[in-house]
Amino acid sequence: MAAAIETFAVTDTISQVIRDLGLIGLVALMFVENVFPPIPSEVVLPLAGFFVARGELSFVGVLFAATLGSVLGSILLYELARYGGRPFVLRYGSLLRVGPEELDRADAWFVRRGPIVVLVGRCIPGVRSLVSLPAGMLKMSRVAYILLTLAGSLVWNTALIGIGWILGEEWGKVSDVIGSVSTPLVIVVLLVLGVLSFVWWWRRHPSRRLD
């Protein structure tokens, strides 16, 4: 019951911000969503799509605002991790909702296949913000990071805004569906990354192939 009340309060607040501030409010919401994951894009974006369906906002404007906020928020995390390093991330991990174990896993994924992790990770709930940290700590190229983040964010934002637009009044079902498939999705992505890493190693080390 308490969780339902909290979810309603968050949704009502997000709706009010978009109504009052329009696209600028959406930029701010997506910026904060990337820095503080408790504000879920699975709610913000379908709700914005609902406003598109009602004719209160344009699809192009919503997509641009959401993507701008996403990229700016991810750049902030990247720069903080780049200059502060692992000590900074661990010190403020409670605010970022990142613990040592999550950070270790992110580091391991990134070392194996950094660009793919950033690109695909931007489309996975719970991982979207996390990929910015190892990218910054390991000093991934800024240009590559921004381009990959932009591409991944465009895919994620387009999908959720579009679904909210199509569902209209039923936009709230999106977060429930995404929540139920997020864990299997992470598992599938990890398997794909593992296969890609093996193929890469196989091609780079032909002398170690089995006869």
pLDDT tens digits along 84-93: 877 776 676 5
Q: Where are the domains of the chain?
A: 2-208
pLDDT greater at residue 101 or residue 18: 18
Q: Over 60: is that where the pLDDT of 206 sits?
A: no
- Return the pLDDT at 169: 74
For the whole model, what pTM was predicted? 0.72
Q: What is the Cα 97 distance to its own chain's centre?
A: 14
What integer is the mean pLDDT of 116-141?
79
CA atoms within a 13 Å half-sphere pointing along the CA-CB vector of 56: 15
Q: Over 90: is that where the pLDDT of 198 sits?
A: no
- Return the pLDDT at 66: 94
Q: Over 80: is that where the pLDDT of 142 sits?
A: yes
Please report the beta strands in 50-184, taking only residues with DSSP state E, as ranges in sequence order.
Answer: none
pLDDT greater at residue 206 or residue 88: 88
What integer is the mean pLDDT of 160-169?
84
3-state secondary structure string, 18-49? HHHHHHHHHHHHHHHHHHCCCCCHHHHHHHHH
